Amino acid sequence: MSVLADWPVSVDGPHLARPGTRRLAVWVSLGLVCLAAMAALMMMQGIDRQLRDIAETYAVRIAARELTHALSQAEASQRGYLLTADPQFLQPYREAVSSLDRRVAALMEMTTDDPGQSDRVVSITGDISSKMAEMNRTVELVSTRRNEEAQTLTETGMGARLMAEVSATLEDFIAEEDIKLAHRNQQIDQTRTGLVTALIAALAAAAILAYALLMRTQRQVSALAQRHRGLLSQNEALEEEVAERTRDIEEARAHAERERQRVEALLQETNHRIGNSLATVSSLLALQVMRTQSDDVRTALEAARLRVHAVASAHRRLRLGDDLETARADEFLTAVLEDLAETQTDGERIVVRGALSPIEVSARDATTLGILVGELVTNALKYAFPDERRGTISVTLARDNDGVPLLSVRDNGVGLPQGAETETGLGSVIVKQLSGQFGGEPHYARADGGGLDVSVRLPELGSHKTAAKDEID
């Protein structure tokens, strides 16, 4: 039985006509607050755009100033070389000249959205080229000890006129950017005034809303106080029921935790037994290799043994997370690489290194990924270091710029045969099939400094886990 159902509720007649007015005031206040907030947001976005425009204007002005400075530096160095024939003036001259094309291109790119400024930059391009040709000719004449010809070329005044025209155009360019800067600063001031006005309106609306809500709250407090006494008796009964259900839930949680631990232990034991069974198969194949006289059969059996051993290692080293469905790729593959290094490398002759990111993958993907890494590392161990060569195998797993996991196995061994663009053996077929399970394809490239770099993008790695979570949600 509900206490609230039996509690008397009183209604004060004179207040019946007021709720409609108060409700209207509340909605109007809310509307004013929302409009003021939207206006403030739009103004803030406008200020952000204006600040970006100002930053771009400053960048254009700086680029124009740098171009003017570079031209002045080139001319000063050229005149110094003309007057003294001192080679020390050539270094700053050449540095200034080499930067002119880059600075002009940068300035043109910055002004692509402004046709007027872009036309100014285009108009001085030819003058700059002519000026640079005149200065280069003067430097060339001085370098060949034809100082009189260089002096005559300078006295024509053509270079000075070109420099004056370029400088005047750049000054006009910078003056135009200054005008833009002043206009944008004025716009920011206007926007700031509007923002302050909107904030004041929002505060006023919020004050009205707060007053209306306060009056309404005061009326509700008295009613809540009356209901509170009735809820106390219900609360006592509910607390007793909650305590009883809490005990039941704790017992159920403890039972579920024991079951989870038992299932986890069974899964780990199953993976370990599968790995041990495959390791036994690998040992039997090793015995068969020792008893086989045919080199071809021995090679085939040894390849099969290594692949079985890689699968066994993947199963033995798999450790699932608390959800019993996923594993961390870095922890799992580090253990697999350690196993491969301990069992398949010749002492310290070949070093196996790993740089792995903590990517979460499903249990099925983890096993397949371990087999793929084992196959690539095994191929490198078999073919990259013949004749007792020493070397290093580096395994990396990380997300690329698109967020797609990228697996790379690189060695500094002998690499692919001359003229070969990819491997063609059974190992490459297995690698291609395993990569295809993750939506990827292996790419073979000669590594810098020698060796082979095999990279595989794995766009579907972990997608099964994500799909399962989406289905649960």
All domains of the chain, ordered by start, with CATH?
19-215 (1.20.120.1730), 323-472 (3.30.565.10)
Q: Is the pLDDT of residue 320 over 70?
A: no
Q: In the structure, what pLDDT confidence band is assigned to residue 49 with cuts at 50, 70 and 90?
A: confident
Other CB atoms closer than 10 Å to residue 210's CB: what's the count? 12
| pLDDT of 298 higher than 70 | no
Residues 6+ apart with CB under 8 A from 346: 388
Distance of CA 365 to the CA centre of its chain: 24
Please state, in angstroms and rounded to a whole number, the distance separating the CA atoms of residues 288 and 309.
Answer: 15
CB 418 within 8 A of CB 390: no
Is the model's pLDDT at 11 over the cut of 60? no
Comparing 136 with 198, which gets the higher pLDDT?
Answer: 136
d(CA 117, CA 111) in angstroms, rounded, equals 6
Q: Are 396 and 359 in contact (CB under 8 A)?
A: no
Residue that wins the pLDDT comparison between 206 and 350:
350
Residue 275 pLDDT greater than 60, yes or no: no
Rounded Cα gap, residues 53 and 51, in angstroms? 5
Query: Per this entry, what is the length of the chain?
Result: 473
Q: Does position 400 have pLDDT exceeding 50, yes or no?
A: yes
Pick from 245, 188, 252: which is nearest to 45 by CA? 188
Q: Does residue 267 carry a pLDDT above 60?
A: no
Higher pLDDT, 450 or 352: 352
**Six-digit token string for 248:** 């039941």
Full strand arrangement of the beta sheet holding 405-411: 350-356, 391-399, 405-411, 452-457, 442-446
- What local confidence, expressed as pLDDT, does residue 3 receive? 42
State what percent of residues in the chain have pLDDT above 90: 9
- Report the pLDDT value the prediction gives residue 60, as an integer from 0 to 100: 78
Q: Rounded to whole angstroms, what are the CA distances from 291 to 362, 382, 402? A: 40, 21, 51
pLDDT in tens, 105-129: 887 788 887 777 777 777 777 777 7
Mean pLDDT, to the nearest integer, of 171-188?
78
pLDDT at 398 (0 to 100): 93
Residue type, 262: R
Structure tokens at 179: 């005008």
What pLDDT is stored for residue 14 in this prediction? Answer: 45
User: What's the whole-number average pLDDT of the chain?
Assistant: 75
Rounded distance between C-alpha atoms, residue 107 and residue 59, angstroms:
9
Residue 236: pLDDT band by 50, 70, 90 thresholds?
Answer: confident
pLDDT confidence bin for 289, thresholds 50/70/90: low
Q: Choose among 358, 350, 437, 342: nearest CA to 397.
A: 358
Question: What pLDDT is recorded for position 395?
Answer: 95
Nearest C-alpha neighbor of 96 from the set 123, 124, 62, 67: 67
Identify the band that residue 337 occupies on the pLDDT scale cut at 50, 70 and 90.
Answer: confident
5: nearest Cα among 186, 233, 216, 192: 233
Q: What type of residue is 87?
A: P
Give the C-alpha distances (Å, rounded to integers) separating 122 from 71, 126, 129, 292. Answer: 16, 8, 11, 80
Task: Look up residue 227 and give its amino acid.
Answer: R
Tokens of 262: 């038992």
Report pTM: 0.40
Query: What was the pLDDT predicted at 423?
Result: 59
